[in-house]
A = this chain, B = another copy of it.
Amino acid sequence: MLEFAILGLLQEAPMHGYELRKELTAKLGAIRAAISYGSLYPTLRRLQAAGWITEAAETPATAEEVPALTSRRGRVVYTITAEGKERFAQLIAQAGPETYDDTGFGVHFAFFARTDQATRLRILEGRRRKIEERREGLRDVLGRAAERLDAYTLELQRHGLDACEREVRWLEELIANERSGRAPTVPQPGTAGGRGENDSPPPPGASRTERP
């Protein structure tokens, strides 16, 4: 999952670790708290070993002076390679069952702008199916096993069931929008600034591995 997110982000610009974490947190803030460095740095090393990103120590370019004095620990800037872009495209195309769990779906959704329409539709429907199954499970428990559980546990299930129903409705809307070929619309310009002119998704069919 982290691998996917990093490859996706680095296609927008080269970054160093700290920056990567901040961008990741901003982009995925809705689904996970904050990426730990304990996962980030090992993953970066793994990606580099696989040849999907390259690591370049940041030197002040044309400054051969002050060579060893204090030896400022340079920031390490990571850049995605052509193989890395291929890998990212491949990860999108695969979209196995882990794509439908909470985290996996969220991360994939966050990079829908780099995903072709057919795959977007497939992922949305896979997620919907999964949530529907969870919903049925909760309904079963609330219906059949209700007397075996205490009031708090039941309340938790009820809240979970509500969230499931809500998400299914949300997914239905997104799927309908997707089928009609439109970008996700802004239904409520209500509270926070509903400025509408955002990136529109790439035209369906275009591969779109270059950054804008």
Contacts and interface: CB of A to CB of B under 8 A. Distances in A.
Contacts of A201: 150-152
A137 B28 CA distance: 11
B152 A192 contact: no
Interface in A5-25: none
Interface in A165-207: 166, 170, 174, 183-184, 186, 192-193, 195, 197-201
Interface stretch (A37-45, A68-76, A82-90, A140-148): A140-148
A195 B147 contact: yes
A166 B163 CA distance: 9
Given A184-B151, A184-B155, A160 B30 contact: yes
Contact of A139 (B109, B170, B184, B192): B192
A113 B152 contact: yes
A2 interface: no
Contact of A193 (B101, B138, B142, B163): B142
Contacts of A150: 112-113, 198-199, 201
B193 A29 contact: no
